[in-house]
Amino acid sequence: MNANPPALRSLGGRRPSYRERVADALRAALIAGELRPGEVYSAPGLATRFGVSATPVREAMLDLAREGLVDTVPNKGFRVTAVSDRQLDEYTHIRSLIEIPTTAELAGTADPVALQALRPVAEEIVTAAAAGDLIAYIEADQRFHLGLLALAGNGHLVEVVRDLRRRARLYGLTALVEQGRLEASAEEHLEILDALLARDTEAVRAVMTRHLGHVRGLWAAP
């Protein structure tokens, strides 16, 4: 895990607070499955792991508790909540209904300059996959997909997908790294960009369908 919580870029240009940055790093660890369901984690223990003080970690974990990602365990810390197969199916289904058509539509509407601006983020995803850095992978993946959706001009849509991503768990990522298969998934982000820049709506739809399928297939394997 990264020694310091990364400064994730926030849509709309707002600079996240230190507490929000810690919360984002914790969410990334949860989504990647590095913090496991049923396990109890103390704020001081997580603070040591992240290389920060306990206070922002405790505050960030309270934020995650309000989102239903963890439960408070009195005098011990926080227990990571589990996500059932049915919940993951539902989250993935909703994401597919939103992200696939919205991203496909961008093939005919998005500014090429704005699309090209996302290429460094797509390359970050590939680099993180090659390095086996799951936290960096999840964070860059979030920035890429939310950045794409933001180009549609619907802020509420972006927030819905952000929330769905927070609630999911991608336990299979570690296995994909060990098998050397995560890089292929990472490179799909570049495929998406290339198809968008080529104004190929059907190609975008096909790649997005395959890509989101990993959330309920390869990535979600325990």
> At a CB cut-off of 8 Å and minimum separation 6, what does 174 contact?
32, 33, 134
Segment 169-208, tens digit of pLDDT: 666 676 677 777 788 889 999 999 999 999 999 999 999 9
C-alpha–C-alpha distance, residues 126 and 30, integer Å: 21
Both 136 and 73 in one domain: the answer is: no
Show which of 80, 114, 129 is a domain's final residue. 80
pLDDT of residue 9: 37
Show which of 63, 80, 97 is a domain's final residue. 80
Both 109 and 69 in one domain: the answer is: no
Show which of 26, 58, 80 is a domain's final residue. 80
On whether residue 24 sits in a domain, the answer given is yes
pLDDT of residue 14: 47
* Unique residue bearing structure tokens 């109890």: 40
Both 51 and 153 in one domain: the answer is: no
Both 106 and 162 in one domain: the answer is: yes
On whether residue 10 sits in a domain, the answer given is no
Q: Contact, 207 vs 195, CB < 8 A? A: yes
Identify the segments of the chain with pLDDT beneath 50. Answer: 1-14, 221
On whether residue 220 sits in a domain, the answer given is no
C-alpha–C-alpha distance, residues 39 and 61, integer Å: 14
Which residue in 192, 195, 95 sits closest to 144, CA to CA?
A: 192
C-alpha–C-alpha distance, residues 73 and 39, integer Å: 11
Q: What is the CATH number of the domain that holds 180?
A: 1.20.120.530
Both 198 and 110 in one domain: the answer is: yes
pLDDT of residue 167: 80
- Overall domain count for the chain: 2
Q: Contact, 134 vs 173, CB < 8 A? A: yes
The structure tokens listed for 207 are 């790649």
The one-letter code for the residue type at 167 is R
Structural domain harbouring 68: 18-80
Both 45 and 127 in one domain: the answer is: no
Both 62 and 102 in one domain: the answer is: no
Both 91 and 177 in one domain: the answer is: yes
Paired with 72 in beta bridges are 78
pLDDT of residue 1: 42
Both 34 and 62 in one domain: the answer is: yes
Q: What is the CATH number of the domain that holds 25?
A: 1.10.10.10
On whether residue 157 sits in a domain, the answer given is yes
pLDDT of residue 158: 96
On whether residue 148 sits in a domain, the answer given is yes
Beta strands (DSSP E) in the chain are: 40-41, 70-73, 77-80
Both 69 and 100 in one domain: the answer is: no
Both 32 and 117 in one domain: the answer is: no
